[in-house]
Structure 1
Amino acid sequence: MSPSLLNQDDPLRHPEESSAPTRTKRAWTLWLLTLLVPGGAQVVAGNKRLGRAALTVTVACWALIVAAVVLLLVKRSWLISLVADSTFQLVGGIALALLALGWLALFLNTLAIIRPGLLAPGMKAIVPTAVVAAMVLTSGSLGYGSYVLLKGRDALSGIFASGPPIEAVDGRYNILVMGGDAGSDRIGLRPDSSAVWSIDAASGRTAVISIPRNLQNVPFPDNSPMHKIYPNGFNCGDECIFNAIYPTVAEKHADLYPGQDAGAEATKEAASAVTGLTVQAYVVVDMGGFKDLIDAMGGVTITSGGWVPYNTKKPWPGTTIKTHWFAPGEHHFTGNQALWFARSRDFTTDYHRIRRQQCLQQAMINQFTPQTLLTKFTGIMDTGKQIVHTDLPQGQLGDFVNLADMARKNAFLRLTLGAPDFGTAADKFSTFPDYELIHTRVDALVEKATDAGAKAAKEAQASKKAQASQKASDSAKASGSASSSAKASSTPKASSDTGSTVDENDGESTLKNHDDVPTTQPNGSPIDEDYLVRLEKSGLKYNLDLISQIAQNNDACTAG
């Protein structure tokens, strides 16, 4: 029998003489081939040349996918750096768009090969509908991937800098993160929140050194252009505080930093001199748009240790009081709520909000996972370009994404260059800072922010607890009485200082002496928002002081 007669009997290529069930089976076979093996339907039942070309592209795509999976498992930073490269994003975006069009064309060709007019009446609508659904699933997904790559290219180019990668100094990346309200033509002109993030390049362990906005007599490194203008530090009086460096340099000395963000560069140099660390990069965040980024991430979870006030435009009924309160406990904040939580300083101090900002920063790092980025990519990119700019190189994005992943595994160690880590607010350490002491404390902190340092700190803490327990036990035996034993067992707790501090082993804020913070009303019922509003409404100094006392531990918080 001749090949031509065999081909005429092939139901895949010649369905005219086949039964209705066979035609239906053929239709679904061709549909499935195009869905799973693009080009397969054309090879078995259509234009073989087109099918072979499509199969070649399909095999090449699968090879690239396998290579990407291997990179993801073996060297993820390379894969992320590649995807973050602007040239790759452009080429990849165009390639995905072409693949989407190609797959769409294959499905349309497959529908023609199926010949819906030959199908049974019940299948004439179902099969074309399935083909359209498959086109939406496949070509639609590739089209969205193209959109994401091209949108990411535009956004990342607007956020990150070009240029060579930065090198770790003494095994650490030190990055100045500043947050401030947007100005008329630039974000973050006067940063009210500044912190140096010192990240161990090997482990991702992170120390956050918060610099109060009112820090005075700020020095500049000898190699800074600002050192010639302020050889004795930024010491022109109460106006010369840390957060004034950015606008002062941007307005008066921009010519000293040609082609750069002069305010950010000068502030970065000042942060180096303040902390004693070599700060290699900066990130500026517009706090006014910060809420949009948190909303794009789906909110952020924080546990507050105390009552945190915030103000709204609408007063309480029958009053002029606009103060509302976040209660102690876990909260999943929207962007607006997170901004209120981070910026509130009513009834407390700047130092309280610094520590809440530290909690918020860690919470965002904890929740800024690859899954969050993938599922909420477009929203994050839309807001990120508007509110963030940095001199971190785009080509090193993969390295820093990996560091962020490692950083999430351990709580940040935190230090505030003011109260409560350097005395109380009344001591005015920020007004008369001791920079040698700051350098000593910062060095000790970053030493702990390594695997070896964390292990040593944990062992030292365990040894200290064991010694305290042994001392209490010896004291109890010596006293020979149960009451003496109880008193002795409480000795270690009584030796703690009062006030709020940071446990540098777990990085979380804790209140060492809760006795100073009221938790109940005079009638014995728990404090609630209504009670706090009544206290403020009275206007009595005693009641306002009582509110301040109740709010004193609102810097004690943990990241969700």
Structure 2
Amino acid sequence: MTGTLLRQDDPVRHPEDQTAPVRTKRAWTLWLLTLLVPGGAQIVAGNKRLGRAALTVTMTCWALILVALVLLLVQRSWLISLVAHPTFQLIGGIVLAALALGWLAIFLNTLSIIHPGLLAPGMKVIVTVAVLLGVVATTGSLGYGSYVLFKGRAALSGIFASGPPIDAVDGRYNILVMGGDAGSDRVGLRPDSSAVWSIDAASGRAAVISIPRNLQNVPFPTDSPMHKVYPDGYSCGDECIFNSIYPIVEEKHKNLYPGVSDPGAQATMEAASQVTGLKVKSYVVVDMGGFRELIDAMGGVNITAGGWVPYNTKKPWPGTNLKTHWFSPGKKHFTGNQALWYARSRDFTTDYHRIRRQQCLQQAMINQFTPQNLLTNFTQIMDTGKQIIHTNLPQGQLGDFVNLADKSRKNPFLRLTLGAPDFGIPGKKFSTYPDYDQIHDRVKTLVATATDEGAKKAKADKESKAAASPKSSSKSSKSSKSSDGENESKLKNGEAAVPTKQPNGEPITEKYLVQLELNGQNSTIESIVQNNDACSAG
């Protein structure tokens, strides 16, 4: 009698004598407990020992989540560094996999506690399906998280180096970023794009010093193995230019760098140190052959273009053999292909124009590397990144550089090109006959400004000069038509205004530019596109 009463008074543990609605309510309660508080169903209706163990794990996980949320608010940089560490990724992947299996076991145990056979036929199916969906939502999510951590760890180990952290020099991290093609017809990679990123370790403010690929008479530091080969600088005419250092070392001087994984990159980094006067201790090499895939994996990039930029496609214009197309000025969201065209175009312009567009694109990419974007597109970014990027930056320091990138997004990059227009006009051939003392002075001034204190001082100086200058008075000027020769001379010196309208007064269009090229009016096109290096990220 007492046993019967106990069974009737405890419908959660003994549903046999309960009505169908009570059994249904009980089933959904146990399902919800397992979904939200794993172990709760076992505490109230099953194996209490199992329930207490599961509940302990559950409470521990919630406590860790709360700690992570607090760290996200007060020590975000430390949290990112922790998550990016390879040891954490290994342990985290194992823990998530174990939690996934544990939650699966708890759900299966809950299903047995529910006793589906006691439910009405229709409800039996619904509850069983609900349990399966719960398994997919919980175990599947944890399993995917484990997969992401393991995949990220494997991919990052293929991109980054092992070893101790790289220290900042005079409060800055100086990193040589190289991009080029490593095709089957080339020995190593020929970096058509090279830039030293000098990043303030405290504020993340960055200065980007672009090194033209045709820079000549490049010196090597005295402690570089290449200094013994070229004690008077890398000087042998037009063949000895900056972007040929990489392949020449790979082809002829690998033996000078025993134990170095990428001798070409190491030698180029050493040359960049001597060129800029900065101690460059890190390099990042990007194979531009896979660049488009990385941009697509990031979801594209945003650029504000200042002028018309040409690019070539396989499809000619109807009725012609002309394959030139044009990016118009204005805000653009570029796919991988479009970004590559935009970065590489130099038709009707010079190498220096595309260098400055590449600088804009680099900042646009930094802007895209937000934590949200990385999480959303993590697997695609890891897949493409491992194929096209390698660096001597240590993986254990990845979190530090993610934090720096996050800080860098808050301010525009300061930019300097070691050639035109920052060092005269193209006709003066500064890259052929560089003045390295002058370069070092300009670089030193630039990086001094790329700090919080330097930025404040530069702003104050600018405001002071503006206040001291007399207001500009309106001046009348006589308009006169220049001859074609005079206008061409002004264009070369960057003095002529950029045309924005056709002779009939209508705005310039892609169709108009195509017709100009068909007519052979290349000088007119050159005058229109002379400002196509004007751009910004976003």
Is 1:487 equivalent to 2:507 in the alignment? no
Aligned partners of 1:196 and 1:353: how far apart in 2?
Answer: 16
* CA RMSD of superposed structures (Å): 2.1
Partner of 1:237: 237
CA distance in 1, matches of 2:432, 2:385: 35
2:91 counterpart SS class = helix
Q: Write the letter of the residue equivalent to 2:471.
A: A
Whole-Å Cα distance in 1 between the matches of residues 412 and 171 of structure 2? 19
Structure 2 distance, partners of 1:166, 1:547, is: 47
Matching residue's letter, 2:344? R
- Name the aligned partner's letter for residue 325 of structure 1: W
Q: Structure 1 residue 512: deviation in Å?
A: 8.6
**Partner amino acid for 1:521?**
Q
Q: How far does residue 119 in structure 1 lie from its aligned partner after superposition?
A: 2.0
Q: State the partner residue of 1:52.
A: 52
Deviation by residue 1:528-549 (Cα, 9 ceiling, x = unmatched)? 011111111122xxx1110111
Confirm or deny: 8 A CA contact 2:188 2:250 kept in the other structure.
no
Residue pairs, 1:501-520, within 5 angstroms:
516-520=497-501
Aligned positions of 1:376-387 closer than 5 A:
376-387=377-388
Q: Which residue of 1 aligns with 2:531?
A: 553
- 2:463 aligns to what? 462
* Whole-angstrom CA distance in 1 between matches of 2:77 and 2:24: 48
CA distance in 1, matches of 2:255, 2:438: 34
Distance 1:552 1:23 in 2: 79
Superposition deviation, residue 267 in structure 1: 0.4
CA contact (8 A) 1:38 1:106 kept: yes
Deviation at 1:73, TM superposition (A): 2.8
- 1:526 maps to which of 497, 503, 507: 507
Amino acid in structure 2 at the alignment position of 1:143:
G
How big is the shift at 1:80?
A: 2.5
Q: Does 1:67 align with 2:48?
A: no
SS of the residue corresponding to residue 302 of structure 2 reads strand
Whole-angstrom CA distance in 2 between matches of 1:237 and 1:455: 43
Partner amino acid for 1:337?
A: Q
Mapping of residues 309-324 of structure 1, within 5 Å: 309-324=310-325
Q: Which residue of 2 aligns with 1:134?
A: 134
How many angstroms does 1:91 deviate by?
A: 2.3
Residue matched to 1:343: 344
Q: Which residue of 2 aligns with 1:6?
A: 6
- C-alpha change, 1:274 and 1:368, in structure 2 (3 Å) is same
Residues 8 and 17 of structure 2 are in contact (CA less than 8 Å); yes or no, is this contact kept in structure 1?
no
Letter of the 1:55 partner, please give it.
Answer: L
Tell me the residue number matched to 1:264: 265
Residue correspondence of structure 1 range 400-419 to structure 2 within 5 A: 400-419=401-420
- Return the offset for 1:87: 2.8
Q: CA deviation at 1:382?
A: 0.4
Per-residue CA deviations over 1:20-55 (Å, capped at 9, x if unaligned) read: 221121111101110111111111111122212211
C-alpha contact (below 8 Å) 1:188/1:286 kept by paired residues? no
Describe the shift of the 1:472–1:92 C-alpha distance in structure 2 as closer, same or farther (beyond 3 A).
Answer: closer
Amino acid at match of 1:428: K
Q: Note the C-alpha offset of 1:77.
A: 3.0
Does the CA contact (< 8 Å) of 2:293 and 2:384 recur in 1?
A: yes
1:285 corresponds in structure 2 to 286
Q: Who is 1:120 aligned against?
A: 120
Code of the aligned partner of 2:432 = T
| C-alpha distance after superposition, 1:358-403 (max 9, x if no partner) | 0000011111100000000000000000000000011111111110
Instruction: Report what 2:206 is aligned to.
Output: 206
Contact 1:188 1:285 (8 Å CA) reproduced: no
State the alpha-carbon separation in 2 of the partners of residues 69 and 145 from structure 1: 18
User: Is 1:307–1:554's contact at 8 Å kept on the other side of the alignment?
Assistant: yes
Task: Give the length in aligned residue pairs.
Answer: 525
Distance (Å, rounded) in 2 between the aligned partners of 1:14 and 1:409: 62
Gaps of 5+ in 1: 474-484, 489-497, 501-510
Aligned to 2:26: 26
Question: What is the TM-score with the length of structure 2 in the denominator?
Answer: 0.94
1:486 is matched by which residue type in structure 2?
S
Could you say what secondary structure the match of 2:79 adopts?
A: helix
Distance 1:118 1:512 in 2: 87
Shift of 1:188: 6.4
Contact 2:284–2:391 (Cα < 8 Å) also in 1: yes
Counterparts of residues 95-114 of structure 1 (less than 5 Å): 95-114=95-114
Name structure 2 gaps, 5 residues minimum: 477-488
> 1:255-291: per-residue Cα shift (whole Å, max 9, x none)?
1111211100000000000000000100000111011
Cα separation, 2, equivalents of 1:329 and 1:160:
36
The answer (yes or no) to whether the contact 2:187–2:251 under 8 Å persists in 1 is no
CA–CA separation in structure 2 for the residues paired with 1:213 and 1:193: 7
Aligned to 1:439: 440
For residues 188 and 534 of structure 2, what CA distance do their matches in structure 1 show?
27
1:72-91 to 2 correspondences below 5 Å: 72-91=72-91
Please give the alpha-carbon distance, in whole angstroms, between the structure 2 residues aligned to 1:383 and 1:242. Answer: 27
- Displacement of 1:65 in angstroms is 2.0
State the Cα distance separating 1:116 from its structure 2 match. Answer: 1.9
Q: Give the Cα separation in 2 of the matches to 1:284 and 1:67.
A: 37
The yes-or-no answer on 1:224 pairing with 2:212 is no
Any idea what SS the aligned residue of 1:209 has? strand
User: What's the TM-score, normalizing by structure 1?
Assistant: 0.90
State the 1:64 CA deviation.
2.4
Cα distance 1:393–1:353, how it changes in 2: closer, same or farther (>3 A)? Answer: same
Please say if residues 187 and 284 of structure 1, whose CA atoms lie closer than 8 Å, have aligned partners that are also in contact.
no
The one-letter amino acid paired with 2:456 is K
The code of the aligned residue for 1:171 comes to G
Matched residue, 1:495: none
